[in-house]
Amino acid sequence: MPSGSRCPDCGSSELVEDSHYSQSQLVCSDCGCVVTEGVLTTTFNDEGNLREVTYSRSTGENEQVSRSQQRDLRRVRDLCRILKLPTTFEDTAISYYQRAYQLSGIRAARLQKKEVLVGCCVLITCRQHNWPLTMGTICTLLYADLDVFSGTYMQLVKLLGLDVPALCLADLVKSYCSSFALFQASPSIPVKYVEDKDKMLSRTLLLVELANETWLVTGRHPLPVITAATFLAWQSLLPSDRLTCSLAQFCKLANVDLPYPAASRLQELLAVLLRMASQLAWLRVLKLDKRTVVKHIGDLLQHRHMLVRMAFRDDGTAQVETQKQQKGEQRQQEEAEGSTFALPERKRPASPAPLLPPCMLKPPKRSHPTPSISTVTGDENISDSEIEQYLRTPQEIRDFQRAQAASQAAMSDSNPP
């Protein structure tokens, strides 16, 4: 009991502490008045003087956490536990959420953006610790829109000034391929479709590296490219039984969703493999197409660095090559003119295609607006400044000045002062 305290009703100093359920209160033993009833939070000074304090003026005001913030903090913890992340990841994600919640741009955002903020904090934490996790996985868990999630993610990284490294492509391939249901025999999967996980993963990594070297990954979502590469790797390991299986059937067997652009990425990968196959003599005579080239993916990947250099040319060396070709042609012409026997001209082999991104090889067609058709009738009003441009001779100028003076005189007569 604080020293010098008295009951506000009877003035007695006999105040005792009485525990009422879980709340301890000071009660006057003479009159039974409850002195500290209803006091939620007090400061040390007010506790000494036994004065009640409103919550807005108390020490608990700074520790106030809204219900929405409490709910989102629980969602951060639940999401980390569902993904089986370490405890340090959970603490880091919570700290990022608390920092983001203090920003005015996030606090005043729509409810849809606040809901995906939980996943953005978890994704940033995983990226910083090089933990393989994709936006699509978190969007599936949160039932969130991918466009809203990506926009909120970029905004949060910019506002907090965080350094988030790019996701390692090899780790993403390993984590994504591990979810495929093709590595264990089951009643729903035929035996000929079951494949060894290590063999399939190693070949998929080589195909994804090939796609990265030929500009098929840059600036694009990686999952469609990985899906197409996994499908080709799976087919090439047993082509006799798997060439009849389509990409959609493969995704259904593997129990994964088929990304929309995966079919386009598959055609681009097959086009690259066909160009590489045209550089090998024992494959050139077979006249391969996009269906039969899958049988020889193992040979193509074994020599992929040399075949890519032979099948494609660099833009930096293109000018040097053209200059060398021009000099060689000039020398051949001079030798032909100087020799007495004219040799038959040989057809120059076609130069390899440039190694450029698909967006530069096949740029999208831009719609040009149709120009508006203006019909001239001759009855349009012409200003005085434009009339002077049409006057050519001195006689036309004098006639125009005379007509202008006459019109001004007529206007002054009709409107007298």
Residue 387's pLDDT is what?
67
Question: Of 23-27, 66-70, 213-217, which one has max mean pLDDT?
Answer: 213-217
Hunting for tokens 């959609």 — which residue is that? 248
- Which has more pLDDT, 354 or 99? 99
Chain length of the chain: 417
What mean pLDDT is predicted for residues 7-24? 71
Cα 228–207–194 angle (5° rounding)?
Answer: 65
Tell me which of 29-33, 34-38, 236-240, 276-280 is least confident: 34-38
Mean of the per-residue pLDDT values of the chain: 79
Please give the structure tokens belonging to residue 417: 């002062």
Q: For 116-145, give the secondary structure using H, E and C.
A: HHHHHHHHHHHHHCCCCCCHHHHHHHHCCC
pLDDT > 90: what percent of the chain? 25
pTM over 0.85: no
Q: Are 24 and 18 in contact (CB under 8 A)?
A: yes
Listing DSSP states for 218-252 in one string gives TTS-HHHHHHHHHHHHHHHHSHHHHTT--HHHHHH
Per the listing, tokens 């009738």 go with: 377
Q: Average the pLDDT over each of 119-123, 170-174, 258-262, 369-373 and give the range with the smallest value.
A: 369-373
Taking every pair of C-alpha atoms in the chain, what is the biggest distance, in angstroms?
A: 138
Q: What is the pLDDT of residue 322?
A: 46
39: exposed, middle or buried (C-beta count within 10 Å: 0-12, 13-18, 19+)?
middle
| Beta strands at 312-313 and 353-354: parallel, antiparallel or unpaired | parallel
The predicted structure's pLDDT at residue 325:
54
**Eight-class DSSP state of 23:** E
Distance of alpha carbon 159 from its chain centroid, rounded?
Answer: 17
Helix 197-213, helix 304-311: angle, nearest 10: 30
Is the pLDDT assigned to residue 224 strictly greater than 70?
yes
| Phi, psi (rounded to 5 degrees) for 273 | -65, -35
The answer, yes or no, to whether residue 316 has pLDDT greater than 80, is no
- 188-217 mean pLDDT: 91
User: Which pLDDT band holds residue 293 (cuts at 50, 70, 90)?
Assistant: very high
**C-alpha–C-alpha distance, residues 225 and 173, integer Å:** 10
Distance in Å from the first CA to the final CA of the chain = 101
